[in-house]
Amino acid sequence: MARYWPEPAWTHGTPARTGVLLVNLGSPDAPTAAAVRPYLRQFLSDPRVVEIPAPVWWPILNGIILNTRPAKSAAKYATIWMDEGSPLTVHTKRQTKLLAGYLGHRGLADLRVDWAMRYGAPSVPDVLKRMKADGCTRILIVPMYPQYAASTTASVLDEVATCLARWRNQPEIRYVRNFHDHPGYIAALAQSVRDHWMKNGEGDKLIMSFHGVPRRSLDLGDPYHCECHATARLLAAELDLPEDRWQLTFQSRFGKAEWLKPYTQPTLEALARQGTKRVDVLCPGFPADCLETLEEIALECRHAFLSCGGKEFHYIPCLNERNDWINALSGIVRDHLGNWLSRPAAAPQDLAASVQRARKAGATC
């Protein structure tokens, strides 16, 4: 097998372009065990996600988890599946289209804006190949995780690097590391809460639930915990909420190890038992609704809160296709494009004149 992939056919003539690639976590192709199994295998085989030595983890994953978990996960996906597909896929696709429109409206119509999934389809390598074939010699990678974590953002960058290691003619790469404290992102979150309150009134407490990671990651230096707390503080300040009106929690535990605390569902259950009548729950770590928000929070946690004596549970949707969020995202992208917006992209190779000069010098092409 060749060490490097063949270069596309545009080498001598296609104008150079700048690309923007949004990358989200991923989703199975269908809410079935058969579709969930390969998705989970890819996800849980990532050493960034599961930091257990492969000889120990492999028999657990393949002998137990992949034989039991796909059917359970598929049943959960079935409760939130949309006509167009997985909610995460649908919203990511829509966000990409809207972002391209916003950037085009600001004079950046020639940008190639696309999307990929870290796990599942469309894959990062496949989309990067398409962007390369379309003449992109500069690509901004935008992991759709506001808060940096090694298990999410870094995994995306690993996948990009692995792909580029097979390219002979590599593009110039930039990436968005995080946007947990970006003013536009915080403002969009705050306005989404205000909009919900305008229609439904305010709850006794606002719960900000972030995706959990193992506690060990914090001890080893991962900044995710701190960035979640920064987002929560900024959002509370934007909403002018006193400390007793909001709380940060972490959801989506996996396995028996300790994860970041406090845990979302036990917190909601405790609040209900203590007499809290109504909670409003927001998931600021997810720019798009997905299984973890629509099923785990809006269904499972709702049931847990009401079963323990709570009276009203309000889930506030993710930012999804809100205009203020897409506008903020376009600002994040423009900030990171920086001087690419004013400096012409280098063509994949020099155009016809260069070819002629090389041929006169005796080179073949």
Claim to verify: residue 32 and residue 170 sit in the same structural domain = yes
Give the pLDDT score at 80. 98
Same domain for 133 and 197: no
Global pTM reads 0.92
Asked if residue 277 is part of any domain, the answer here is yes
Instruction: Give the number of domains in the chain.
Output: 2
Does the annotation flag 211 for ligand binding? yes
Could you tell me if residue 103 is inside a domain?
yes
Residues 199 and 300 in one domain: yes
Low-confidence ranges of the chain (pLDDT < 70): 1, 10-14, 346-365
Give the pLDDT of residue 50: 95
pLDDT on residue 365: 42
In a domain, 346, yes or no: no
> What is each CA distance from 339 to 342, 343, 344, 345, in whole angstroms?
5, 6, 9, 10
Residue 154 lies in a domain: yes
**Residue 82 confidence (pLDDT):** 97
Looking at residue 217, which CATH number applies to its domain? Answer: 3.40.50.1400
What pLDDT is recorded for position 360?
A: 59
Identify the pLDDT of residue 212: 97
One domain for residues 246 and 137: no
What is the tens place of the pLDDT at every residue in 154-174? 999 999 999 999 999 999 999
Identify whether 342 is part of a domain. no
What integer pLDDT is reported at residue 343 of this predicted model? Answer: 74
In this structure, are 215 and 302 located in the same domain? yes
Q: Where are the alpha helices (DSSP H) in the chain?
A: 33-44, 54-60, 66-80, 87-105, 124-133, 153-164, 183-200, 215-219, 224-238, 264-273, 291, 302-307, 323-337, 352-360
Residue 269: count other Cβ atoms within 10 Å of its Cβ: 18
Write down the pLDDT at residue 12: 56
Identify the CA nearest to 146 among candidates 329, 337, 281. 329
- The Cβ of residue 246 has, within 10 Å, a number of other Cβ atoms equal to 19
Quick one: 169 and 106 in the same domain? Answer: yes
Residue 230 in any domain: the answer is: yes
52 φψ region: left (φ > 0), alpha (ψ -120 to 50), beta (else): beta
Query: Domain range for residue 139?
Result: 17-179+323-337
Residue 349 lies in a domain: no
Residue 365 lies in a domain: no
Domain identity same for 169 and 37:
yes
Neighbours of 340 (CB within 10 A): 17
Residues 167 and 257 in one domain: no
For residues 24 and 132, state if they share a domain.
yes
For residues 294, 302, 312, 272, the Cα torsion angle rounded to the nearest 10 degrees is -140
Rounded to an integer, what distance in angstroms lies between the CA atom of residue 56 and that of residue 81? 34
Could you tell me if 148 and 195 lie in one domain?
no
**What local confidence, expressed as pLDDT, does residue 361 receive?**
56
> Burial code of 2-19, b = ≥16 C-beta within 10 A, e = fewer?
eeeeeeeebeeebebbbb
Please indicate, yes or no, whether residues 76 and 205 belong to a single structural domain of this protein: no
Q: Are residues 328 and 275 in the same domain?
A: no
Q: Note the pLDDT of residue 344.
A: 72
SS3 of 156, please? helix
Secondary structure (3-state) at 138: strand
Tokens of 69: 């978990």
**Angle ∠(186,188,190) on CA atoms, nearest 5:** 70
